Amino acid sequence: MLDAGGDGVILSRDAPTMDITNKTTKPLSIPLPAGKKLFLAPGKTGQVSPKALKHPPLAKLIDAGDVETAEGGPQRPGATGGSKAGPATGSHHGGPGAMRQSGDR
């Protein structure tokens, strides 16, 4: 993930995050600082920086009840930068194991 320079979009694992949930029955296009937008489907949750919560258009949606905030909300596995037991997630290349056979059989 990349750091977008603190413009409201969370792109770094180390930055504090705030969960926001769309409480309407329609998809929302939520304006964020630096001209960015967060698209949220009905009932879905997204993450923004605490700075983004102070952005006037987003604050207006929160005050209207269209969007609900939850500080630090439920953490998804692997969302924190902490250590994790077990094998790494993602594709597994080059490790030991059965090689794919080629040629005549």
Q: Which of 17, 62, 59, 67 is nearest to 39 (CA)?
A: 67
Residue appearing with tokens 């939520």: 30
Q: What is the DSSP letter of 104?
A: -
Report the pLDDT value the prediction gives residue 94, as an integer from 0 to 100.
57
What residues does each domain of the chain span?
Answer: 18-67
Higher pLDDT, 46 or 70: 46
Q: Distance (Å, rounded) from C-alpha 86 to C-alpha 68?
A: 35
pLDDT digits (tens, 9 = 90+) for 7-26: 555 455 566 888 999 999 99
Q: Cα-flanking dihedrals φ and ψ of residue 9, to 5°?
A: -100, 125
pLDDT digits (tens, 9 = 90+) for 52-99: 989 999 999 999 999 999 864 444 434 444 444 555 555 555 556 666
